[in-house]
Amino acid sequence: MEIRRIAGALGAELLGVDLRNLTDSLVADIRKAFLEHLVVFFRDQDLTPAQYMAFAQRMGTPVEYPFVKGIEGFPHIIEVKKLEHEKQNFGGIWHSDTAYLEIPPMGSMLLARHLPPYGGDTLWANQYLAYETLSDGMKKLLDGLVAVNSSAKADVTRTREDRIAEQGGDKREYVAEHPVVRTHPETGRKALYVNVAHTVRFVGMTEEESAPILAYLYAHQIRPEFTCRFSWRVGSIAFWDNRCTQHNPVNDYHGHRRLMHRITLEGDRPR
C-alpha cells in the first residue's frame, strides 16, 4: 500500500489497495493511516453493497443513520443524493456527523456511485489543528465548557427534508451535550468539537451569550490551512474520523445528479 498525502493538514490517498481482498495486515495498515491522516481515500473500488459492508465491518461497527432508511437489504447503507431538480444538497454545510447523538459516530464512509459532470467535491477540516492553534486563554476558557447540539438546527434540517419526505423517515429532534474540546480515545489528542450545523449554545449560557464565541470558532475551525479537498470519481471511497474532523460537500452542480452510498460506524461518548 502506497500512501500519498493530498494536503498539508490532513488527507491521504491509499494506493494499490483492492478492498475486496482484505488481509489482517492490510486492515491494520489502513487503520493506522486513518488515525494518522484523519481521512483516507481509495480509488477505483467497484464494490457491491455486500463487499462495501464487509470493508466497513473490518473498520468498525456499522450503525443505522437516524433520519434516512437504508437501501434494500442493507439497512446500514444509506443513499446520500441530490437530484437534478434539487437546490439543496444533503449535509451541505460544515459539520461533524450526527453530533446531536449521545454517542456520535467514530467514522463515516462514502462510496461514489453516480457523479455530476463537474463539481461535487468534498472538503474536510482538521479539528486537532483548530484546537491547537487557539491562544492559551481561549483554550483555558473552552476546556471547561460543554455544548448543546441539536438535530433541529435550521441550516442542516433543510438538507434532509426531501429524503425524509420521500421515505416517511424519522422527524424527531435529537439533543445531546458534549464537551467543546474532546480528547480522541485512540490518539489522546485534543480536538475542537463544535460545529455550525448542530451546536446551539454552551451549557449554562443563553444562545445570545454563546453566539460571539461560537461564531469565532466556526470561522476559525475551517481556515484554509486546516483543510483538504477531494475530487470524486465513480468508485472512489472516503473514510473519515468524525472525532477530529469536519466535512462539507460543495454544492456547485445544480441540474445534475449525485449519488453516494454512506456507512456510519459506531463511536463512543465524547470526553
Determine, yes or no, domain membership for 122: yes
Domain count of the fold of the chain: 1
pLDDT for res 170: 56
Torsion of CA 142, 143, 145, 151, to 10 degrees: 80
| Residue 52 domain-assigned (yes or no) | yes
Tens of pLDDT along 30-77? 999 999 999 999 999 999 999 999 999 999 999 998 878 999 999 999
Residue 108 counted as domain residue: yes
Catalytic position from the list 37, 76, 95, 201: 95
Residue of 198, 247, 258, 261 marked active site: 247
List 76, 97, 163, 243, catalytic entry = 97
In a domain, 271, yes or no: no
Which of these is catalytic: 163, 178, 261, 262? 262
Is residue 95 annotated as part of the catalytic site, yes or no?
yes
Residue 145 lies in a domain: yes
Chain segment 70-108, per-residue pLDDT in tens: 999 999 999 999 999 998 888 889 999 999 999 999 999
Nearest to 156 by CA among 113, 97, 244, 204: 97
For residue 198, is it within any domain? yes
Q: Which domain holds residue 18?
A: 2-265
Q: Which amino acid is at 131?
A: Y
pTM for this model (two decimals) = 0.94
Whether 112 maps to a domain, the answer reads: yes
Any domain includes 270: no
Which ranges of the chain have pLDDT less than 50?
A: 160-161
| CATH of residue 128 | 3.60.130.10
Cell digits for 4?
Answer: 500519498
